[in-house]
Amino acid sequence: PGRLSLAVYRKSPLGLPISAETLEALDTAVALAREGGHTVEEIDLPYIGRDFIADFCKSVASAVAGMMRAEAKRVGRPVTGEVERATRVLGRLGEMLSAGEVYDAVQRLNATARQMIEDTARFDAVLMPIIAHPPLACGAMDPKGADELVENVLDKLHLTGLLRIKSFFGQLMDKSLWFTPWPAIHNVSGQPSIALPVHVTAGGLPLGIQAAGRPGDEETLLSLAAQMEKISGWLKRRAPLKVPG
């Protein structure tokens, strides 16, 4: 890719803890980038915070509500009982939000996206995490205990109106996105991003980070990713073969 100017963003948009393994993976990516001849500068994106993620969640909820309406029309019957519990809750929240609220949220998201694209335009790519913790076992993110109770109450008693309370909405937002808040940023901005395989945890699990580029500049990201993949030795890595007993 030639000599690139890169940035690194380390914060969680939700202000929640990030695992030491994730930060180590980010440090590994920075070291590999410098080994490849690139400059790396630490940056902050102060406008990417909880309000941004809240607006993102509102836009998602409205989209879920619209998609459920479209699917019900397509099949000729209500589909509320055929989707997951969390999807029902999101759909009801989307129906509860006014068109004005959703439009206001989308306008704020667009303004933030424009600001971020402008602020990061001097960099060829910005490195940041993808997941806040090492990969989890299947089912580990399913709500349990009190979390499951709250979701059941919202669903079965149709108490989605509780999400009008900012603190309650914030708690559910944290529980939904604590593991992976960063991809929402580029879902909003439309910037291309690519996962870089750079790190293996102590438990032998892959833990990548992402590089986000300028709008329309996928070429630079693909070239950088190929270089990082080569320098990291990832192409030589093989999973251990386990013969069934």
Extract the tokens encoding 111. 């303004």
Residue 132 Cα distances to 20, 21, 36, angstroms = 9, 9, 25
107-147 tens-digit pLDDT: 999 999 999 999 999 999 999 999 999 998 888 877 777 66
Cβ-proximal residues to 176 (8 Å cutoff; 6+ apart), any chain? 57, 86
Structural domains of the chain ordered from first start:
1-43+121-136+184-234 (3.40.190), 50-119+138-178 (no CATH)
Helix (H) or strand (E) holding 56: helix 50-75
Residue type for position 31: A
Q: Give the neighbor-by-neighbor strand order of the sheet with 193-196.
A: 39-42, 5-8, 125-129, 209-213, 193-196
Residue type for position 121: A
CB-CB contact of 56 with 185 (8 Å): no
Token pair 């000729």 in the structure block, residue: 76
**pLDDT at residue 212, as a whole number:** 98
Question: What are the φ/ψ torsions at residue 60 (nearest 5 degrees)?
Answer: -65, -45
**pLDDT at residue 149, as a whole number:** 67
76-111 tens-digit pLDDT: 999 988 998 888 888 988 999 999 999 999 999 999
3-class secondary-structure state, position 188 = helix
Query: Measured between alpha carbons, how far is 130 from 179 in angstroms, rounded to an integer?
Result: 9
141-158 tens-digit pLDDT: 777 776 666 666 676 666
Residue type for position 6: L
Query: Measured between alpha carbons, how far is 101 from 192 in angstroms, rounded to an integer?
Result: 28
